[in-house]
Chains A and B, each alone.
Chain A
């Protein structure tokens, strides 16, 4: 059933896990990105958990109730694992994995009495509603259970059944146009959280991916609702768990469940709002077409700190040439800028920027060398000419504006490019920012270096572009 896995993969995945890392750059307790979209029809919803995708559709029909429970409707949950999701899923007969998932979903949603089955009764002993949730795995990349449980509960919440009126013996099922359809009465939102254990429970991961699932020793599923009521707990695999590990998992599950519940309720609210306001909704509308599918990352705001204790106001006056540099000057002069509060980079004197403690500049180059390299590039870099001390300030400013998402004329420059750290996965990595800034620090130090080396202001202007250019090559 499971994917065939080679020794090389197994060894590598285990060494990654024992190094406290994950292939997609997540932390141990991080979930992948959850995305919930609803179809045009009520009760239709697609959930994406990273690359795992599940499509859910709720439907209902009037049936005769069972003799043992004549006043209760029924709820059925069925998860279909087709080869579309993964080549390892066989068509036709249900695998043991499929049975396990189906059973867990039933236990979590039906047996926790999430749906009020008594409200599904139309005529006692005669007619009840049978609600059915069909789940289809569209793509498999681990943690199918969590994804399906989110899809099932979101779909049940989204679903509206037709209104029924009973007059004497006669039962009328009103069409959707005739009467406003009614929502199911749902008591709570049970959500499954999967934990994977490695090396006899030494390492624990939340939301395992397909690869991680193949090498795990065992896994535990905790199904809980936002009120911290435990609905189901299941342990599979060949390992023993300690008592405190179980309670730790439950504590993590509490946090995760409340997060996921928020995501589901927000998605439901947004959909309801869009329908109410007559806006566009449904799968076709929720698809982002002009999206870059990979190595795309949202712009981040990185705080910058300003220190105004220097005496270098004269040099700052030279910078009226470029608009953004002018702004930098203002920032400097009236130190009461709004960005001051949450800043990290100190600017002690104009042209000097330090991040953290500051180190000795080891990037000082012989003067002649820098002179030589400056000359050829003056021809092409007309846009970058400015007095040298401003360079640092403009750099800071540009950096800042880039982070704020302001589009200025230099926004195409490489400095800004590096600010927008790539790939979603890397976004989560612990410290991408200092690394990016390292280049900046070097940049500044060279900018500082230049004015002392070159004499007249005119030469300095020319030198600047080249200085920067060269510096760009340096750290790479």
Chain B
């Protein structure tokens, strides 16, 4: 995978047809930041062009604005109750909608207990450029499978989208290392939101700062970084 290590910084409008064709594969997938305009592959945001197995291309950058993608798990804030749907803010340009029936065990009689201001961990069922995103809190078999309303006892903070992806990648050891120091309950949404619950306020602050500091820490430095923050937080 020599191609993936090769880093090219691209700007919006850069034509990358040659770069994509050079990979040799007839079929390729274009990820975030790349579009096709009259048979040309064009970058539509600035960042680093990355590729995987010479057939998947995307642009990686530091970003806070979430662009919904189908199947991703996100953390949303319920902002409105309108008839049989909830309006949920997931950090995208349009608010997402969440039907009250798409909770585990919910029926027309048995409505889920969701208040305005609650946090929900939900999966994107519909993510379209020109349509409102649609969320569900159940899988296809009707099980919640971890999705649903998050407790108000925890704390939700925002971070860059890149950090969320990093934390969720199997290579990242941060949560394993941190979990050994502080018992914690964490939910990571792909929309740059992390919900966290620890035993005390200061532990939550410590865990939050550790997670935020991990954005620019390489994997091998994570244990020592966690160690440092934990020893410093002990007196806080």
- Bitwise interface map of A from 385 to 424 toward B, beta carbon under 8 Å scored 1, else 0: 0000000000000000000000000000000011011110
Residues in A275-299 with C-beta less than 8 Å from chain B: 292-295
Is the pair B201, A19 in contact by a Cβ cutoff of 8 Å? yes
A426 & B195 in contact (Cβ 8 Å cutoff): no
Which residues of chain B in 27-45 are interfacial with respect to chain A, using CB atoms and an 8 Å cutoff?
none
Chain A residue at smallest Cβ distance from B225: A295
Chain A residues with CB under 8 Å of B7's CB are none
List A6-23 residues whose CB lies under 8 Å from chain B. 6-13, 15-16, 19, 21, 23
Chain B's interface size range is 35 or more
Which among B65, B205, B225, B227 has the highest number of chain A CB atoms within 10 Å? B205
Cβ–Cβ < 8 Å partners of B224 in chain A: 417
As a 0/1 sequence over residues 1 to 40 of chain A, the CB contacts with chain B under 8 angstroms (1 = contact) are 0001111111111011001010111000000000000000
Which of A59-67, A311-319, A430-438 is the interface stretch? A430-438
A377 part of interface (Cβ distance < 8 Å) = no
A420 to B224, CA, bound (A): 11
| Interface hub of A13, A422, A432, A476 (most chain B Cβ within 10 A) | A422
Q: Does B235 contact A430, Cβ atoms closer than 8 Å? A: yes
B156 touches A8 (CB 8 A): yes
Would you call A266 an interface residue if the criterion is a C-beta within 8 Å of the partner chain's C-beta atoms? no
Count of chain A residues with a beta carbon within 8 Å of a chain B beta carbon: 40
- Set B195, B201, B229: member contacting A422, Cβ < 8 A: B229
Q: How far is the CA of A292 from the CA of B151 in the complex (A)?
A: 35
Question: Out of A7, A8, A11, A21, which one reaches B205, CB within 8 Å?
Answer: A21
Determine if B2 is an interface residue (Cβ-Cβ < 8 Å): no
Contact among B79, B154, B209 with A426 in the assembled complex (CB-CB below 8 Å)? B209
Interface presence of B137 (CB below 8 A): no
With A11-B152, A12-B204, A293-B216 known to touch, is A6 a contact of B232 (CB < 8 Å)?
Answer: no
B195 contact set on A, CB distance < 8 A: 8
**Residue B212 at the chain A interface, CB threshold 8 Å:** yes
> Which residue, A5, A6, A292, has most C-beta atoms of chain B within 10 A?
A6
Q: Interface code A311-353, partner B: CB below 8 Å = 1, 0 otherwise?
A: 0000000000000000000000000000000000000000000
Judge whether A12 and B155 touch: CB under 8 Å: yes
B182, chain A: closest CB distance, angstroms: 13
Interface check B190, CB cutoff 8 A: no
Q: Say if the beta carbon of A425 comes within 8 Å of chain B.
A: yes
- The listed residue (A7, A295, A434) touching B235 by CB distance below 8 A is A434
The distance in angstroms between the C-alpha atoms of A431 and B234, with both chains bound, is 9
A87 CB-CB contact with B under 8 Å: yes
Within 8 A of A (CB), among B188-205: 195, 201-202, 204-205
Complex contacts, A12 vs chain B, CB 8 Å = 154-155, 201, 204
Known contacts A7-B115, A9-B155: A87-B65 contact under CB 8 Å:
yes
Instruction: Give the residues in chain A near B208, CB-CB below 8 Å.
Output: 23
Q: Is A429 an interface residue (CB 8 A)?
A: yes
User: Nearest-CB distance from A318 to chain B (Å)?
Assistant: 32
Chain A residues with Cβ below 8 Å from B115 are 7
The distance in angstroms between the C-alpha atoms of A12 and B150, with both chains bound, is 14
What total of A-B pairs shows CB separation below 8 Å? 117
| Closest Cβ neighbor of A431 among chain B residues | B235
Partner of B232, one of A10, A21, A87, A422: A422
- B142 nearest CB across to chain A (Å): 26
Interface string of A72-97 (1 = CB under 8 A from B): 00000000000000010000000000
* Chain A residues with CB below 8 A from B212, complex form: 294
Q: Does B10 contact A (CB under 8 A)?
A: no
Q: Is the CB of A294 within 8 A of B213?
A: yes
Contacts of A10 in B (CB 8 A): 117
CB of A32 to closest CB in B, whole Å: 14
Contact B231 A436, beta carbon cutoff 8 Å:
yes
Assess whether A421 is in contact with B201, with CB atoms less than 8 Å apart: no
The reply to whether the CB of B104 lies closer than 8 angstroms to some CB of chain A is no
Cβ–Cβ contact B213 & A423, under 8 A? yes
CB within 8 Å for A420 and B228 given contacts A295-B213, A426-B209: yes
| Cβ distance A342 to chain B, nearest Cβ, rounded Å | 21
- Inter-chain contact A429/B235, CB cutoff 8 Å: yes
How far does the Cβ of A339 sit from chain B's closest Cβ, in whole Å?
Answer: 24
- Is the beta-carbon distance between B232 and A432 smaller than 8 angstroms? yes
* A16 close to B231 (CB less than 8 A): no
Whether B201 and A15, one on each chain, are in contact in the complex, defined by CB atoms closer than 8 angstroms, is yes
Give B214 Cβ to nearest chain A Cβ, in Å: 8
Question: Please, how many angstroms separate the alpha-carbon atoms of A16 and B155 in the complex?
Answer: 11
Contact (A6, B209) CB under 8 Å given A12-B154, A435-B234, A435-B235: no
B60 part of interface (Cβ distance < 8 Å):
no
Cβ of A140 to closest chain B Cβ, rounded Å: 11
Whether A418 pairs with B231 at a CB distance below 8 angstroms is: yes
Q: Does B153 contact A (CB under 8 A)?
A: yes
Q: Which residues of A contact B217 (CB under 8 A)?
A: 294-295
CB neighbours of A21 from chain B (8 A): 201-202, 205, 236
Take A25-B209, A422-B232 as given contacts and tell me if A476 and B227 are in contact as well, using a CB distance cutoff of 8 Å. Answer: yes
Partner of A423, one of B117, B150, B201, B232: B232
Measured CA separation A9–B225 after assembly (Å): 26
B233 touches A429 (CB 8 A): yes
Once bound together, how far apart are the Cα atoms of A10 and B119, in whole Å?
A: 12
Residues of chain B contacted by A432 (CB below 8 angstroms): 231-232, 234-236
Are A426 and B117 within 8 A (Cβ)? no
In the assembly, what is the distance between CA of A6 and CA of B156, in Å?
Answer: 8
Bound together, the chains give a CA A5 to CA B152 distance in angstroms of 12
Q: Is B235 in contact with A16, judged by CB distance below 8 angstroms?
A: no
Q: Are B213 and A5 in contact (CB under 8 A)?
A: no
Task: Decide yes or no whether B134 CB sits under 8 A from chain A.
Answer: no
Complex alpha-carbon distance, A6 and B231, angstroms: 31
Closest Cβ of chain B to A27, distance in Å, is: 11
The residue from B79, B209, B225 contacting A4, defined by CB atoms under 8 A apart? B79
Chain A residues contacting B231 (CB-CB under 8 Å) are 418, 421, 432, 435-436, 439
Other A-B pairs, 12, CB within 8 Å; known A6-B77, A8-B152:
A7-B115, A8-B155, A12-B154, A23-B205, A25-B205, A294-B212, A294-B213, A294-B217, A422-B229, A429-B233, A430-B235, A436-B232
Query: Taking beta carbons and an 8 Å cutoff, which residues of A are in contact with B?
Result: 4-13, 15-16, 19, 21, 23-25, 87, 211, 292-295, 417-418, 420-423, 425-426, 429-432, 434-436, 439, 476
| Complex A-B, nearest 4 residue pairs according to Cβ-Cβ distance, in ascending order | A422-B228, A12-B155, A426-B232, A7-B117
Q: List 7 A-B contacts (CB under 8 A).
A: A19-B202, A211-B157, A294-B213, A294-B216, A426-B209, A432-B234, A436-B232
